[in-house]
Structure 1
Amino acid sequence: MPSALPETPPQTLLRSVEAFNRALRESSLGVARDIGCSKGTLAIVRILQRRGTLQVSDLAHVLRVDISVASRQVSQLVDDGLVERAVADDDRRARTIQLSPAGRSLAVEIAAALGRRAAEVFADWSPDELLDAAATLDRLGESVSRFALPTDAPAPVHAADVLTPA
Protein backbone atom coordinates (compact mmCIF):
# COMPACT_ATOMS: atom_id res chain seq x y z
CA MET A 1 0.00 0.00 0.00
CA PRO A 2 1.55 3.34 -0.99
CA SER A 3 2.10 5.80 1.81
CA ALA A 4 0.39 9.16 1.55
CA LEU A 5 2.61 12.17 1.18
CA PRO A 6 2.24 14.74 3.93
CA GLU A 7 0.03 17.69 3.05
CA THR A 8 1.53 21.06 2.45
CA PRO A 9 -0.07 23.99 4.33
CA PRO A 10 -1.94 25.14 1.21
CA GLN A 11 -3.28 21.59 0.68
CA THR A 12 -4.38 21.45 4.31
CA LEU A 13 -6.18 24.77 3.87
CA LEU A 14 -7.92 23.57 0.70
CA ARG A 15 -9.04 20.36 2.44
CA SER A 16 -10.43 22.42 5.31
CA VAL A 17 -12.21 24.75 2.89
CA GLU A 18 -13.75 21.75 1.11
CA ALA A 19 -15.04 20.41 4.43
CA PHE A 20 -16.35 23.87 5.35
CA ASN A 21 -18.07 24.15 1.97
CA ARG A 22 -19.84 20.81 2.49
CA ALA A 23 -20.97 21.87 5.99
CA LEU A 24 -22.19 25.20 4.63
CA ARG A 25 -24.19 23.52 1.86
CA GLU A 26 -25.82 21.21 4.40
CA SER A 27 -26.62 24.12 6.70
CA SER A 28 -28.03 26.12 3.80
CA LEU A 29 -30.22 23.19 2.84
CA GLY A 30 -31.46 22.99 6.43
CA VAL A 31 -32.43 26.67 6.45
CA ALA A 32 -34.15 26.30 3.07
CA ARG A 33 -36.12 23.31 4.35
CA ASP A 34 -37.06 25.18 7.55
CA ILE A 35 -38.69 27.96 5.53
CA GLY A 36 -40.01 25.76 2.73
CA CYS A 37 -37.97 26.86 -0.26
CA SER A 38 -35.11 25.56 -2.39
CA LYS A 39 -31.45 26.49 -1.86
CA GLY A 40 -31.56 28.31 -5.20
CA THR A 41 -34.53 30.39 -4.09
CA LEU A 42 -32.83 31.13 -0.79
CA ALA A 43 -29.67 32.33 -2.56
CA ILE A 44 -31.42 34.49 -5.15
CA VAL A 45 -33.78 36.10 -2.67
CA ARG A 46 -30.84 36.89 -0.37
CA ILE A 47 -28.83 38.42 -3.21
CA LEU A 48 -31.72 40.54 -4.47
CA GLN A 49 -32.54 41.62 -0.92
CA ARG A 50 -28.96 42.82 -0.39
CA ARG A 51 -28.23 44.23 -3.85
CA GLY A 52 -31.64 45.40 -5.05
CA THR A 53 -32.53 45.45 -8.74
CA LEU A 54 -30.20 43.44 -11.00
CA GLN A 55 -30.03 42.16 -14.53
CA VAL A 56 -30.10 38.37 -14.85
CA SER A 57 -26.54 38.45 -16.19
CA ASP A 58 -25.40 40.25 -13.03
CA LEU A 59 -27.18 37.70 -10.89
CA ALA A 60 -25.47 34.89 -12.83
CA HIS A 61 -22.09 36.51 -12.14
CA VAL A 62 -22.82 36.76 -8.42
CA LEU A 63 -24.03 33.15 -8.30
CA ARG A 64 -21.13 32.08 -10.54
CA VAL A 65 -23.43 30.13 -12.81
CA ASP A 66 -24.19 30.26 -16.52
CA ILE A 67 -26.74 32.89 -17.51
CA SER A 68 -29.11 30.15 -18.75
CA VAL A 69 -29.11 28.57 -15.26
CA ALA A 70 -29.81 31.93 -13.60
CA SER A 71 -32.51 32.71 -16.16
CA ARG A 72 -34.32 29.41 -15.50
CA GLN A 73 -34.16 29.99 -11.74
CA VAL A 74 -35.46 33.54 -12.12
CA SER A 75 -38.30 32.36 -14.38
CA GLN A 76 -39.37 29.92 -11.67
CA LEU A 77 -39.27 32.69 -9.05
CA VAL A 78 -41.34 34.94 -11.33
CA ASP A 79 -43.87 32.11 -11.72
CA ASP A 80 -43.88 31.69 -7.92
CA GLY A 81 -44.57 35.42 -7.47
CA LEU A 82 -41.30 36.11 -5.62
CA VAL A 83 -39.53 38.13 -8.32
CA GLU A 84 -40.72 40.75 -10.81
CA ARG A 85 -39.19 41.56 -14.17
CA ALA A 86 -39.00 45.13 -15.45
CA VAL A 87 -37.47 47.15 -18.27
CA ALA A 88 -34.32 49.00 -17.20
CA ASP A 89 -34.78 52.76 -17.02
CA ASP A 90 -31.38 53.53 -18.55
CA ASP A 91 -31.49 50.89 -21.32
CA ARG A 92 -34.94 49.98 -22.63
CA ARG A 93 -33.49 46.79 -24.18
CA ALA A 94 -32.30 45.48 -20.82
CA ARG A 95 -34.55 43.58 -18.43
CA THR A 96 -34.07 43.78 -14.68
CA ILE A 97 -35.33 41.69 -11.80
CA GLN A 98 -36.28 42.65 -8.30
CA LEU A 99 -38.10 41.12 -5.36
CA SER A 100 -41.87 41.33 -5.38
CA PRO A 101 -43.73 42.08 -2.14
CA ALA A 102 -43.97 38.30 -1.55
CA GLY A 103 -40.22 38.01 -2.25
CA ARG A 104 -39.46 40.78 0.25
CA SER A 105 -41.60 38.98 2.81
CA LEU A 106 -39.67 35.76 2.15
CA ALA A 107 -36.40 37.70 2.49
CA VAL A 108 -37.47 38.80 5.98
CA GLU A 109 -38.31 35.19 6.87
CA ILE A 110 -34.94 33.99 5.50
CA ALA A 111 -33.06 36.69 7.43
CA ALA A 112 -34.81 35.68 10.64
CA ALA A 113 -34.05 31.99 10.08
CA LEU A 114 -30.41 32.75 9.29
CA GLY A 115 -30.20 35.03 12.32
CA ARG A 116 -31.46 32.25 14.57
CA ARG A 117 -29.08 29.73 13.00
CA ALA A 118 -26.11 32.10 13.28
CA ALA A 119 -26.91 32.85 16.92
CA GLU A 120 -26.87 29.12 17.68
CA VAL A 121 -23.79 28.28 15.64
CA PHE A 122 -21.68 31.20 16.81
CA ALA A 123 -22.94 31.52 20.40
CA ASP A 124 -19.45 30.93 21.79
CA TRP A 125 -17.64 33.28 19.36
CA SER A 126 -16.81 36.87 20.25
CA PRO A 127 -17.67 39.69 17.83
CA ASP A 128 -13.94 40.17 17.15
CA GLU A 129 -13.53 36.47 16.33
CA LEU A 130 -16.45 36.66 13.92
CA LEU A 131 -15.06 39.74 12.18
CA ASP A 132 -11.59 38.18 11.95
CA ALA A 133 -13.07 35.00 10.47
CA ALA A 134 -15.09 37.01 7.92
CA ALA A 135 -11.97 38.96 6.91
CA THR A 136 -10.01 35.72 6.50
CA LEU A 137 -12.77 34.15 4.40
CA ASP A 138 -12.98 37.27 2.21
CA ARG A 139 -9.21 37.20 1.69
CA LEU A 140 -9.33 33.49 0.92
CA GLY A 141 -12.12 34.01 -1.61
CA GLU A 142 -10.24 36.83 -3.30
CA SER A 143 -7.04 34.77 -3.48
CA VAL A 144 -8.76 31.73 -4.96
CA SER A 145 -10.80 33.87 -7.37
CA ARG A 146 -7.71 35.48 -8.86
CA PHE A 147 -6.62 32.09 -10.16
CA ALA A 148 -9.98 30.45 -10.76
CA LEU A 149 -11.61 33.04 -13.01
CA PRO A 150 -10.72 34.84 -16.23
CA THR A 151 -9.34 38.35 -15.79
CA ASP A 152 -12.61 39.93 -16.97
CA ALA A 153 -14.69 38.07 -14.35
CA PRO A 154 -16.66 40.05 -11.77
CA ALA A 155 -15.29 40.77 -8.33
CA PRO A 156 -15.52 37.87 -5.91
CA VAL A 157 -18.57 37.44 -3.75
CA HIS A 158 -17.89 38.25 -0.12
CA ALA A 159 -19.35 36.18 2.66
CA ALA A 160 -21.54 39.10 3.72
CA ASP A 161 -23.20 39.19 0.28
CA VAL A 162 -24.86 35.83 0.71
CA LEU A 163 -24.46 34.30 4.14
CA THR A 164 -25.19 36.86 6.80
CA PRO A 165 -28.64 37.86 8.02
CA ALA A 166 -29.91 41.18 6.72
Structure 2
Amino acid sequence: MTQGFQGTDKVWLVMMKAMRALTRYAAAGIEDTGLGLSDFGVLELLLHKGPLPVNTIGPIVDLTPGSISIAVDRLVAKGLVSRVESAEDRRVRIVALTPRGKDLIVSAFRKHSGQMKRVFSELSPEELRGLEVKLKKVGKRAAALMEKD
Protein backbone atom coordinates (compact mmCIF):
# COMPACT_ATOMS: atom_id res chain seq x y z
CA MET A 1 0.00 0.00 0.00
CA THR A 2 1.34 3.45 -0.86
CA GLN A 3 1.41 6.28 1.63
CA GLY A 4 -0.42 9.51 0.95
CA PHE A 5 1.34 12.75 0.25
CA GLN A 6 3.29 14.17 3.18
CA GLY A 7 5.38 17.22 4.00
CA THR A 8 6.15 19.56 1.13
CA ASP A 9 4.37 17.30 -1.37
CA LYS A 10 1.17 17.49 0.70
CA VAL A 11 1.45 21.28 1.08
CA TRP A 12 1.97 21.68 -2.67
CA LEU A 13 -1.06 19.50 -3.45
CA VAL A 14 -3.29 21.35 -0.97
CA MET A 15 -2.09 24.71 -2.30
CA MET A 16 -2.76 23.68 -5.92
CA LYS A 17 -6.28 22.44 -5.11
CA ALA A 18 -7.03 25.63 -3.17
CA MET A 19 -5.70 27.80 -6.00
CA ARG A 20 -7.79 25.94 -8.60
CA ALA A 21 -10.95 26.38 -6.53
CA LEU A 22 -10.15 30.03 -5.80
CA THR A 23 -9.41 30.75 -9.47
CA ARG A 24 -12.65 29.11 -10.64
CA TYR A 25 -14.66 31.08 -8.06
CA ALA A 26 -12.95 34.38 -8.94
CA ALA A 27 -13.22 33.74 -12.69
CA ALA A 28 -16.96 33.15 -12.46
CA GLY A 29 -17.47 36.48 -10.70
CA ILE A 30 -15.15 38.32 -13.07
CA GLU A 31 -16.84 36.83 -16.13
CA ASP A 32 -20.20 38.08 -14.79
CA THR A 33 -18.83 41.60 -15.39
CA GLY A 34 -18.14 40.80 -19.06
CA LEU A 35 -14.38 40.48 -18.59
CA GLY A 36 -12.04 37.52 -18.85
CA LEU A 37 -9.26 36.92 -16.34
CA SER A 38 -6.50 38.41 -18.51
CA ASP A 39 -8.52 41.53 -19.35
CA PHE A 40 -9.41 41.94 -15.68
CA GLY A 41 -5.71 41.63 -14.78
CA VAL A 42 -4.68 44.31 -17.28
CA LEU A 43 -7.45 46.72 -16.24
CA GLU A 44 -6.81 46.14 -12.53
CA LEU A 45 -3.11 46.84 -13.01
CA LEU A 46 -3.85 50.10 -14.83
CA LEU A 47 -6.36 51.08 -12.14
CA HIS A 48 -3.82 50.68 -9.36
CA LYS A 49 -0.59 51.66 -11.18
CA GLY A 50 -1.80 54.18 -13.76
CA PRO A 51 -0.78 54.33 -17.45
CA LEU A 52 2.03 51.93 -18.36
CA PRO A 53 4.06 50.95 -21.42
CA VAL A 54 2.51 47.90 -23.07
CA ASN A 55 5.78 45.94 -22.76
CA THR A 56 5.74 46.51 -18.97
CA ILE A 57 2.21 45.15 -18.52
CA GLY A 58 2.75 41.64 -19.95
CA PRO A 59 5.29 40.35 -17.43
CA ILE A 60 3.34 41.78 -14.49
CA VAL A 61 0.08 40.06 -15.47
CA ASP A 62 1.94 36.96 -16.73
CA LEU A 63 1.11 37.34 -20.43
CA THR A 64 3.52 36.77 -23.31
CA PRO A 65 4.29 39.71 -25.63
CA GLY A 66 1.89 38.29 -28.24
CA SER A 67 -0.87 37.69 -25.70
CA ILE A 68 -0.59 41.17 -24.17
CA SER A 69 -0.78 42.73 -27.64
CA ILE A 70 -3.97 40.79 -28.36
CA ALA A 71 -5.42 41.68 -24.95
CA VAL A 72 -4.66 45.39 -25.40
CA ASP A 73 -6.11 45.34 -28.94
CA ARG A 74 -9.29 43.76 -27.55
CA LEU A 75 -9.53 46.33 -24.73
CA VAL A 76 -8.94 49.21 -27.18
CA ALA A 77 -11.69 47.84 -29.47
CA LYS A 78 -14.09 47.75 -26.49
CA GLY A 79 -13.21 51.35 -25.60
CA LEU A 80 -11.81 50.35 -22.19
CA VAL A 81 -8.21 51.50 -22.73
CA SER A 82 -6.34 53.88 -24.99
CA ARG A 83 -2.91 53.28 -26.50
CA VAL A 84 -0.76 56.28 -27.37
CA GLU A 85 2.86 56.93 -28.28
CA SER A 86 5.14 57.91 -25.42
CA ALA A 87 6.17 61.57 -25.49
CA GLU A 88 9.75 60.52 -24.59
CA ASP A 89 10.13 57.60 -27.02
CA ARG A 90 7.81 57.18 -30.00
CA ARG A 91 8.64 53.46 -30.17
CA VAL A 92 6.94 52.96 -26.80
CA ARG A 93 3.15 52.63 -26.55
CA ILE A 94 1.47 53.74 -23.33
CA VAL A 95 -1.76 52.03 -22.29
CA ALA A 96 -4.23 53.91 -20.07
CA LEU A 97 -7.77 53.39 -18.84
CA THR A 98 -10.53 55.30 -20.58
CA PRO A 99 -13.33 56.70 -18.38
CA ARG A 100 -15.49 53.76 -19.49
CA GLY A 101 -12.70 51.30 -18.65
CA LYS A 102 -12.19 52.90 -15.25
CA ASP A 103 -15.90 52.68 -14.43
CA LEU A 104 -15.98 49.01 -15.43
CA ILE A 105 -12.87 47.94 -13.53
CA VAL A 106 -13.84 49.87 -10.39
CA SER A 107 -17.17 48.02 -10.37
CA ALA A 108 -15.60 44.65 -11.27
CA PHE A 109 -12.85 45.04 -8.68
CA ARG A 110 -15.38 45.94 -5.99
CA LYS A 111 -17.27 42.72 -6.76
CA HIS A 112 -14.04 40.70 -6.85
CA SER A 113 -12.92 42.17 -3.54
CA GLY A 114 -16.23 41.16 -1.96
CA GLN A 115 -15.79 37.63 -3.28
CA MET A 116 -12.31 37.38 -1.81
CA LYS A 117 -13.54 38.67 1.55
CA ARG A 118 -16.15 35.88 1.58
CA VAL A 119 -13.55 33.24 0.71
CA PHE A 120 -11.07 34.36 3.34
CA SER A 121 -13.68 35.06 6.04
CA GLU A 122 -12.82 31.64 7.48
CA LEU A 123 -9.46 33.05 8.59
CA SER A 124 -8.81 35.44 11.46
CA PRO A 125 -6.88 38.64 10.62
CA GLU A 126 -3.78 37.05 12.17
CA GLU A 127 -4.18 33.86 10.12
CA LEU A 128 -4.71 35.90 6.96
CA ARG A 129 -1.56 37.94 7.58
CA GLY A 130 0.41 34.77 8.39
CA LEU A 131 -0.78 33.14 5.16
CA GLU A 132 0.23 36.23 3.19
CA VAL A 133 3.72 36.25 4.70
CA LYS A 134 4.26 32.53 4.14
CA LEU A 135 3.01 32.55 0.55
CA LYS A 136 5.25 35.53 -0.28
CA LYS A 137 8.22 33.70 1.20
CA VAL A 138 7.53 30.54 -0.81
CA GLY A 139 6.83 32.54 -3.99
CA LYS A 140 10.07 34.50 -3.68
CA ARG A 141 12.03 31.29 -3.10
CA ALA A 142 10.50 29.63 -6.16
CA ALA A 143 11.27 32.72 -8.28
CA ALA A 144 14.87 32.76 -7.04
CA LEU A 145 15.27 29.07 -7.89
CA MET A 146 13.87 29.70 -11.38
CA GLU A 147 16.51 32.39 -11.96
CA LYS A 148 19.29 30.02 -10.85
CA ASP A 149 18.24 27.13 -13.11
Query: TM tier, shorter chain?
Result: 0.7 to 0.9
The residue number in structure 1 matching 2:5 is 7
Q: CA–CA distance in 2 between the matches of 1:99 and 1:150?
A: 37
Structure 2 counterpart of 1:94, from 89, 92, 95: 92
Relative to structure 2, which stretch is displaced further, 119-128 or 39-48? Answer: 119-128
C-alpha change, 1:111 and 1:67, in structure 2 (3 Å) is same
Q: Distance in 1 between matches of 2:117 and 2:15?
A: 22
Map 1:145-156 → 2, pairs under 5 A: 145-149=143-147
Aligned partner of 2:65 in structure 1 is: 67
Which position in structure 2 is the counterpart of 1:54? Answer: 52
Q: Structure 2 CA distance, aligned partners of 1:48 and 1:150?
A: 31
- Is there any run of 5+ residues in structure 2 with no aligned partner, and where? none
**Aligned partners of 2:147, 2:63: CA distance in 1, in Å?**
12
What residue in structure 2 maps to residue 155 of structure 1?
A: none
Distance of aligned partners of 1:8 and 1:147 in 2 relative to their CA distance in 1, 3 Å threshold:
farther
Match of 2:37 in 1: 39
Coordinate RMSD, CA, aligned: 2.0
Q: TM-score, normalised by structure 1?
A: 0.79
CA distance in 1 between partners of 2:77 and 2:148 (Å): 34
Taking structure 2 as the reference length, the TM-score comes to: 0.87
Write the distance in 2 (CA, Å) between the matches of 1:18 and 1:44: 24
| Count of equivalent residues | 149
Flag the 1:106–1:149 CA change in 2: closer, same or farther, 3 A: farther
Query: Kindly tell me: are residues 35 and 149 of structure 1, through their superposed partners in 2, closer, same or farther at Cα, counting changes over 3 Å?
Result: farther
Structure 1 residues 4 and 63, CA gap change in structure 2 (3 angstroms):
farther
Distance 1:93 1:24, change over 3 A: same
Runs of at least 4 residues off by over 4 Å:
none
Alpha-carbon shift at residue 118 of structure 1 (Å)? 2.4
**Per-residue Cα deviation, 1:66-113 (whole angstroms, up to 9, x for no partner):** 100111011000100111101123322211111111111112112210
Superimposed CA distance per residue, residues 23-62 of structure 1 (whole angstroms, 9 cap, x where no aligned partner)? 1220221111222221222111111112212222211111
Identity of aligned residues (%): 23
